[in-house]
């Protein structure tokens, strides 16, 4: 009797070796670029107090209302798997006394968890690259963050993305707008779906974000936020636009862009794509000047964005700019116990001498024919062959495996590392 198979958790994916090259390309590009823009990596826990997300993201959001993985641990603490990274980074900045007027440009990458309906581009465990600038009030950092995301697409070779921006104004300006919006939606109560009716009092702005097709024309006719912006927010937004113009970054102003989370103020932006179907947001961000004090820290302006790694990987697949799956460079073929031991020693010396190259030893024995089959499959350009006879004479056979890569040669074991290095430099 065979044991029953354990199923993977719905909406949580394995990233297989065949896909990993794209993930690594994306992560390395992000790391290099964030370094170049002077952002520092930090890491925060995957689990936080449930209250953190309730207070940061807001009770009347999809995330808090229905998407959180919350549980009570053995000590009776109410905890949640993080649905996003901003709240955790802000909590960490407060917990570690990092504020006190200081400024920080931070980023992190890792898994997020939301109990959503799994579909193409929407998962229950997904990954974000999260970038936060804490302690900056002006529109210059808003422009820099957008420029950074723009440079990221350029480096990745992704061009089917477009930038939308909007300003939500200050909390006061939003309050005035909210009153108008509540009145408007109340007048259209019959058209509102159940979720929207519940949000009417708690957070009417969220209704604008609804994807329900039956509500779209009613939403399209609702009053828009830009009419309620305060003078300072208007100026902030105008300066941001001027900076984007001078950087040559194209954008459109979307007055209905309100973002799904509650904590935003002033600048919000989103990169959308037409290449992935319904899940069109690949990178979303905004300013959250009120969040830090709301979480018990001293009032500090801040702005950040998060990029959905799976969706960017899907764009990379279409752009085909990512490297192929990794292949071996050298494969060591060896037969006889002493020769196998020597081949391990040689492989180690090669790995030390040629960092970045992939050196594969033959594992599990087999005759020469079987070993050469494995060598071919490894993708290696060069096989090094070591039998009992070679070992006795202190030599190794160097066999190029690709058409036109030169002749086979016998080289001395004592100088094999140099000879292999020279062979690879001749190939370049």
What is the contact surface with ligand ATP in residues (CB under 6 A)? 84, 114, 116, 122-123, 126, 128, 260, 279, 281-284, 306, 308, 310-311
Is the CB of 84 or the CB of 289 nearer to ligand ATP? 84
DSSP 295: T
Burial 26-45 (b: 16+ CB within 10 A, else e): beebbeebbeebebeebebe
Is the CB of 269 or the CB of 372 nearer to ligand ATP? 269
Contacts of 179 (CB under 8 A, 6+ apart): none
What is the CB-side half-sphere exposure of residue 350 using CA atoms within 13 A?
28
Cβ-closest position to ligand ATP: 308
Is the CB of 244 or the CB of 276 nearer to ligand ATP? 276
Is the CB of 230 or the CB of 280 nearer to ligand ATP? 280
Q: Convert 351-386 into a string of H (helix), E (strand) and C (coil).
A: HHHCCCCCEEECCCCCCHHHHHHHHHHCCCCEEEEE
- Contact yes or no for 44/86 (Cβ under 8 A): no
CB of 181 to ligand ATP, least distance (A): 19
Q: How far apart are CA 380 and CA 326, in angstroms?
A: 10
CB of 53 to ligand ATP, least distance (A): 12
Supply φ then ψ for residue 358, to 5 degrees.
-105, 115
CB of 48 to ligand ATP, least distance (A): 16
Is the CB of 98 or the CB of 208 nearer to ligand ATP? 208
- Contact yes or no for 210/193 (Cβ under 8 A): yes
CB of 162 to ligand ATP, least distance (A): 13
Is the CB of 19 or the CB of 116 nearer to ligand ATP? 116
DSSP 120: T
Strand extents, DSSP E, 255-381: 265-273, 281-287, 302-308, 330-334, 359-361
Closest among 309, 310, 259 to 287, alpha carbons compared:
259
CB of 98 to ligand ATP, least distance (A): 23
Is the CB of 132 or the CB of 381 nearer to ligand ATP? 132
Q: How many residues does the chain have?
A: 428
Is the CB of 254 or the CB of 397 nearer to ligand ATP? 254
CA–CA distances in Å: residue 319 to residues 103, 265, 314: 37, 34, 9
Q: How far apart are CA 417 and CA 421, in angstroms?
A: 6
**What CA dihedral angle connects 318, 319, 320 and 321, to 10 degrees?**
-150
CB of 225 to ligand ATP, least distance (A): 17
CA–CA distances in Å: residue 30 to residues 67, 244, 309, 316: 28, 21, 11, 14
Is the CB of 174 or the CB of 374 nearer to ligand ATP? 174
CB of 121 to ligand ATP, least distance (A): 6
Q: What sections of 77-215 are H helices per DSSP?
A: 86-95, 139-156, 171-187, 194-202, 205-208
- Contact yes or no for 68/53 (Cβ under 8 A): yes
**Coil, helix or strand for 203?**
coil
Is the CB of 159 or the CB of 389 nearer to ligand ATP? 159
**Coil, helix or strand for 61?**
coil
Contacts of 190 (CB under 8 A, 6+ apart): none
CB of 281 to ligand ATP, least distance (A): 4
CB of 352 to ligand ATP, least distance (A): 41
DSSP 281: E
CB of 298 to ligand ATP, least distance (A): 26
Is the CB of 84 or the CB of 390 nearer to ligand ATP? 84
CB of 156 to ligand ATP, least distance (A): 14
């Amino acid at each position: 009797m065979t044991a029953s198979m354990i199923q993977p958790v719905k909406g949580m994916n394995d990233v297989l070796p065949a896909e990993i090259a794209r993930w690594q390309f994306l992560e390395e590009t992000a790391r290099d670029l964030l370094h170049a823009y002077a952002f520092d990596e930090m890491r925060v826990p995957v689990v936080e107090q449930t209250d953190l997300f309730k207070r940061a993201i807001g009770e009347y959001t999809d995330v808090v209302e229905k998407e959180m993985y919350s549980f009570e641990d053995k000590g009776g603490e109410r905890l949640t798997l993080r649905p996003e990274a901003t709240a955790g980074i802000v909590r960490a900045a407060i917990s570690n006394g990092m504020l006190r007027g200081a400024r920080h440009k931070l980023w992190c990458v890792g898994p997020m968890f939301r109990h959503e309906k799994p579909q193409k581009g929407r998962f229950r465990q997904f990954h974000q690259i999260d970038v936060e600038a804490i302690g900056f009030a002006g529109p210059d950092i808003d422009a820099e963050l957008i420029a950074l995301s723009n440079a990221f697409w350029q480096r990745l070779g992704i061009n089917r993305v477009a930038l939308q921006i909007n300003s939500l104004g200050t909390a006061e300006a939003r309050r005035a707008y909210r009153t108008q919006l509540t009145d408007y939606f109340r007048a259209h109560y019959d058209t509102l779906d159940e979720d929207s009716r519940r949000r009417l009092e708690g957070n009417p702005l969220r209704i604008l974000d609804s994807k329900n097709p039956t509500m779209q024309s009613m939403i399209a006719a609702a009053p828009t936020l830009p009419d309620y912006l305060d003078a300072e927010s208007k100026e902030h937004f105008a300066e941001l636009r001027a900076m984007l113009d001078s950087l040559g970054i194209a954008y459109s102003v979307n007055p209905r862009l309100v973002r799904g989370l509650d904590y935003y103020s002033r600048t919000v932006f989103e990169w959308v794509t037409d290449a992935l179907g319904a899940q069109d947001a690949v990178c979303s961000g905004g300013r959250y000047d009120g969040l830090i004090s709301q979480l018990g820290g001293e009032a500090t302006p801040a702005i950040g964005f998060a990029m959905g790694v799976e969706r960017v990987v899907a764009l990379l697949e279409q752009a085909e700019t990512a490297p192929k799956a990794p292949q071996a460079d050298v494969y060591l073929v060896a037969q006889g116990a002493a020769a196998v031991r020597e081949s391990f020693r040689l492989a180690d010396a090669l790995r030390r001498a040629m960092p970045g190259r992939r050196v594969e030893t033959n594992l599990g024995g087999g005759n020469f024919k079987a070993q050469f089959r494995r060598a071919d499959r490894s993708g290696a350009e060069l096989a090094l062959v070591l039998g009992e006879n070679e070992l006795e004479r202190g030599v190794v056979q160097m066999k190029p495996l690709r058409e036109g890569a030169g002749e086979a040669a016998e080289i001395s074991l004592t100088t094999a590392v140099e000879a292999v290095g020279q062979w690879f430099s001749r190939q370049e």
